[in-house]
């Protein structure tokens, strides 16, 4: 199976952050024989929606599966292959962490879908900072109408709506593989001992502070042999 790990970083500060996180992403990709790709030039505005280009990348380059990681993510050296076959031997899935289990995001999905003439009954609300998707689920990357980009948690709510409109089944991702601050506190995780993928979502208001935090955590993981 031809696979890729994709990340994206736009602007000087995000690319400075990526210099800290990319080595771990590349090591993960090499460990599991996955191509690595960093998108550093946006293909649309707002730039977060550049993530939807993954569908085109999969088709154009023949990837059967893509793992996406936001630039503000640290992958531990002992992180398992998130995209490996499931218990039935299938690698065709949409796998992400359902943060809607403890955060109220579903009403926003319903209202946004309604604004575009859609009707959904939310079954999940995933965080799109870490996910794995196969080429059987390209509808996830359906674009909004030209020039109209809803900004409800960036592209995240839009992608969740697409997953429902296309009737996609979710393969839940263990919270240890998308350990955000809210996840860490809710599940009682220790990012340095329990997490395999640490995600610094919602902390980009002060990029210098974020970069220093990620550098510090990277050093702590190295001290722990991770």
Q: How far apart are the first and last CA of the chain?
A: 27
Helix 156-165 crosses helix 106-115 at what angle (to 10 degrees)? 70
- Within 104-193, strands assigned E span 126-134, 170-172
Q: Tell me which residue has tokens 């649309």.
A: 44
Other C-beta atoms lying within 10 Å of the C-beta of residue 15: 14
* No. of helices (H) and no. of strands (E), the chain: 6, 8
Specify the pLDDT at position 90. Answer: 59
Q: Which tens digits make up the pLDDT trace of 11-23?
A: 999 999 999 999 9
The Cα 174–Cα 226 span in angstroms is 18
The Cα 130–Cα 179 span in angstroms is 10
Short-list 188, 167, 159, 166, CA closest to 100: 159
- Within the chain, strands assigned E span 3-8, 35-39, 65-69, 73-75, 94-98, 126-134, 170-172, 197-199
> Residue 52 carries which DSSP code?
G
pLDDT band at 44 (very low <50, low <70, confident <90, very high): confident
> What percent of the chain has pLDDT above 90?
80
Q: Tell me which residue has tokens 């020039």.
A: 147
Mean pLDDT of the chain: 92
CB 115 within 8 A of CB 79: no
100 pLDDT higher than 90: no
88 pLDDT higher than 80: no
Query: Which residues does 89 contact at the CB level (< 8 Å), separation at least 6?
Result: none
89 pLDDT higher than 60: no
Specify the pLDDT at position 102. Answer: 83
Predicted model pTM: 0.94
CA 189-191-192 angle, 5° bins: 125
User: Please, how many CA atoms are within 13 Å of residue 123, restricted to the half-sphere of its CB?
Assistant: 11
Helix 207-223 crosses helix 12-31 at what angle (to 10 degrees)? 30
> What percent of the chain has pLDDT above 70?
96
């Amino acid at each position: 199976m031809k696979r890729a790990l994709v990340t994206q970083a736009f602007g000087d500060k995000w690319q400075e952050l990526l210099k800290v996180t990319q080595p771990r992403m590349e090591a993960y990709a090499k460990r599991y024989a996955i191509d690595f790709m960093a998108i550093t030039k946006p293909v649309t505005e707002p730039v977060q929606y550049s993530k939807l280009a993954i569908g085109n990348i999969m088709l154009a380059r023949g990837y059967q599966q893509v793992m996406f990681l936001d630039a503000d993510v640290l992958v531990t050296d002992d992180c398992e292959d998130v995209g490996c076959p499931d218990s039935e031997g299938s690698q065709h899935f949409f796998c992400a962490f359902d943060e809607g289990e403890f955060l109220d995001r579903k009403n926003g999905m319903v209202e946004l879908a309604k604004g575009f003439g859609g009707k959904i009954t939310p079954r999940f609300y995933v965080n799109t900072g870490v996910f794995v998707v196969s080429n059987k689920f390209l509808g996830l990357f359906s674009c909004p109408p030209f020039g109209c980009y809803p900004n409800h948690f960036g592209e995240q709510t839009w992608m969740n709506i697409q997953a429902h409109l296309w009737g996609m089944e979710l393969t839940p991702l263990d919270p240890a593989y998308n350990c955000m601050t809210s996840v860490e506190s809710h599940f009682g995780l220790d990012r340095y001992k329990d997490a395999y993928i640490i995600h610094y979502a919602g902390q980009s208001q002060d990029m210098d502070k974020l970069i220093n935090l990620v550098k510090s955590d990277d050093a702590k993981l190295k001290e722990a042999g991770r």
